[in-house]
Amino acid sequence: MFRRFQKDEKGATAVVFALTLIPLIFLLGLAIDLGRGYSMQGRLQSAMDAAALAGAHVYRDTGDISLAKTTAENYFMQDATHRALRFPNVRAWTVDPTKIAMTGTISLDLPTTFARLMRENITLNVSTTAQAGGKELELAVMLDTTGSMDQTSGRGDLTSKMADLKLALNDLLDLFKVSLENKKAKIGFAPFSEAVFVGGDAELLRGKQGKTKKVGGATFKLTSCVTERETGDRYSDAFSPLGAHYTQSGECAATTRATPLTDVESTLRAAVKSLKTGGTTAGHLGTAWAYYLLAPNWSSYFGVPLKPYKDKKTIKAAILMTDGEYNMQYCMAVSDQVKGNCIGVQANSQAKSICDEMKSKEIVVYSIGFDLDNATAKATLKACASPGKYYEAYTGSDIRIAFVSIGKELLDNIKLTN
């Protein structure tokens, strides 16, 4: 009997299997813990990325470092709850004002299930950096300063459309405050009415002209404004002579000069404050000057270094705003509405051709019709705008919303750098 038990190895095999099974179960459990760790790290990374982006947005828009950190922390906690991240952890948020960037780091000890037998936790370390304004912005804003802008919208507004426009422009500058301070954005204004006022630069821009000219038996006098070119450069950004401007009085209703692209906020605020109204709507001239403000060919004249077209690190954009149909064009430097004068190319047609030139240079064109009921005017603005960039505004509140919406879209150029 003893020999029979001695030869029976079934029990020993069971013991060996049990001893082998223990490390196998432990290794399987460890693999599960590691898998949980990788999953948790991925969820942490996503939550930290989103929080840093939110904080960078806030810093870009407000310049408030404390608010940016608080926003990032609150955003992380909300996202962490959504992602079921409920473990104690240590987070830190820092802001780099020069890069308009936010960095977040987190260290988390993840309790394990099977590795706990070895008294081991899994430590997860995650970091991320979000940068606002990964690209620089060059923005030209065409401003209708015609006489109709001195009226109310007629839709319950108590203030003039010009007053509403000034509020909208200041809203826009509020949005870009940090970007301007950090040299990430430059903005310029192209005001227009019946022509474009250039003051003492008139002869430089149009060449030497006679002081008077006869049209239809009447005498017209040279002004300090300019009009369209009537040459092969009519729609281009070439720095070549512009059209002169003659009126019977020798005066021009346009009185505010263009503001070259600048990152100096006080200069832009002062330009907004100085806007005045008067005259009819030669919208093609405002369109052309918005183009010139962005054109490298005009850089020397404006005294501003401008990035080349299609530069991968720069967004060039134009906002074209008007409250009326483009109804003034010129022939031989005199309004073609003057009896006895030749007929010029329609302002609407000229504006659309200039917009096509801008878009071919990858300039993003936005257009805003303010209190605009004219179908032809709306069609012109829609044709000028890049796809999906046409806005209609009927009240003072609407025009402010339109400018803020465009500004936020342009600012929404946040990217992760890590």
Identify the pLDDT of residue 124: 78
Q: Can you give the pTM of this predicted structure?
A: 0.75
Could you tell me which residues are beta bridge partners of residue 110?
A: 122
Q: What fold does the segment set 136-416 form as a domain? A: Rossmann fold (3.40.50)
> Which pairing describes strands 390-393 and 415-416: parallel, antiparallel, or unpaired?
unpaired
| Other CB atoms within 10 Å distance of the CB of residue 32 | 14
Lowest mean pLDDT among 29-43, 138-152, 244-258: 29-43
Residues 248-258: tens digit of each pLDDT = 999 999 999 99
Helix (H, G, I), strand (E, B) or coil at 190: strand
Of 190, 235, 198, 206, the residue nearest 333 (C-alpha) = 206
Higher pLDDT, 262 or 312: 262
Q: Please, are residues 380 and 346 in contact by the beta-carbon 8 Å criterion?
A: no
Task: Give SS3 for 397.
Answer: helix
Closest CA to 27 of 39, 38, 16, 35: 35
Residues in a beta bridge with 105: 92, 127
- The reported pLDDT for the residue numbered 226 is 98
> pLDDT tens for residues 188-234?
999 999 999 999 999 999 999 999 999 989 999 999 999 999 988 99
Residue 262 token pair: 């600048």
Element (DSSP H or E) covering residue 122: strand 122-131
What is the rounded average pLDDT for all residues in the chain?
87
Distances (CA, A) of 318 to 95, 126, 146, 331: 31, 40, 19, 27
Amino acid at 396: G
pLDDT at 18: 53
Strands lying side by side in the sheet with 218-222: 212-215, 218-222, 246-247
Task: Please say whether the beta carbons of 73 and 91 come within 8 A.
Answer: yes
pLDDT surpasses 70 at 413: no
DSSP code per residue over 242-300: PB--EESSS--S-----EEEE--HHHHHHHHHT----S---HHHHHHHHHHHH-GGGHH
Q: Boundaries of CATH 3.40.50.410 in the chain?
A: 136-416
Question: Average pLDDT, stretch 130-156?
Answer: 89
Cα 176 to Cα 183: distance, rounded to the nearest angstrom:
10
